[in-house]
Amino acid sequence: MKKLIALTLVLVMALSLAACGAKEEAGAKIAVQKGTTSLMYADALKNVETVSYDTFALAAKDMLNGNADYLFVDKTTGKALEKEIAGLKIIEISLSSENYGIGIDKNQADLKTKIDNILVEKAAEIDAIKEKYMNGEEDKYVGITSGTKDGSKAAEQLVVATNAEFAPWEYKEGNQYYGIDMEIAKLFADELGLELVIDDMEFDAVVGAVGKQNVDIAMSGITITTERLQVINFSEPYYTESIVCVVKDSNTELDSAGTVVDMLNVICKK
């Protein structure tokens, strides 16, 4: 999700310039997760201060504690936070639209071809995985147990870098991994006849890990970007996501906003 300026970000920057004026003193504080496009979008705005956290959950809780005014987050994760943490409210205006893809080692062109083929051939199965998590059908969730990374068995393992702090895409309970990406990763491994190994790390290290220390792919709700395409390959998109603003449920200042410009007019002039 961290990236160079792409079309959606150019749009946000243009809107921010229109909405935020030339005031130099920072006003509103926007909570974000480190290394995400949410951070980049917030940084594109004038007159605001970004506050970065290791996870979106920590960012949301600190906003509720009064240490930030707004949270910028991927919509599906925002929905999960709204369900899990009392006192949150999503503003139903998309700040951006972007595509998620699987990051793939550039030195494994055949792996990209195979993964793209699986995305097509198993599309119905993958859609069912996404749907059950989006609908909160917890009785259908499947816990995934990771193998142990072993360099001597690299040809027998599919090593997936992730940040398991990003429900409903990936999260951990006990020694098992859950989430859309984790179940899709298990599907990939099964179809490829490989043992799945999940390498859990900080989000801003996930993309850079691909192609190093036997890491084959990255799955962590990763936006396809120009910057990332310089260092990794991407599969075909498998989900279109948006960035939204989350506030305390008692906050009514954005309730009447009908457009991104309306929203930014409030945020940037707070």
Domain boundaries, the chain: 7-99+242-268, 102-236
Q: Where are the alpha helices (DSSP H) in 172-250?
A: 180-192, 203-209, 226-229
Strand residues in the chain grouped as ranges (E): 28-33, 48-53, 70-74, 88-100, 103-104, 157-162, 165-166, 170-173, 176-178, 195-200, 217-218, 233-234, 239-248
Asked if residue 27 lies in contact with residue 270, where contact means CB atoms within 8 angstroms, the answer is yes
pLDDT of residue 2: 34
CATH number of 7-99+242-268: 3.40.190.10
pLDDT of residue 41: 87
Per the model's pLDDT, the better-predicted residue between 19 and 90 turns out to be 90
- For residue 243, list its beta bridge partners: 74, 96
pLDDT of residue 23: 46
pLDDT of residue 44: 85
Which of 38-47, 99-108, 134-143 is the least confident region? 38-47
Q: What is the pLDDT of residues 222-268, one digit of tens each?
A: 999 888 999 999 999 999 999 999 999 999 999 999 999 999 989 98
Q: Answer whether residue 4 shows pLDDT above 50.
A: no
CATH number of 102-236: 3.40.190.10
Topology agreement, domain 7-99+242-268 and domain 102-236? yes
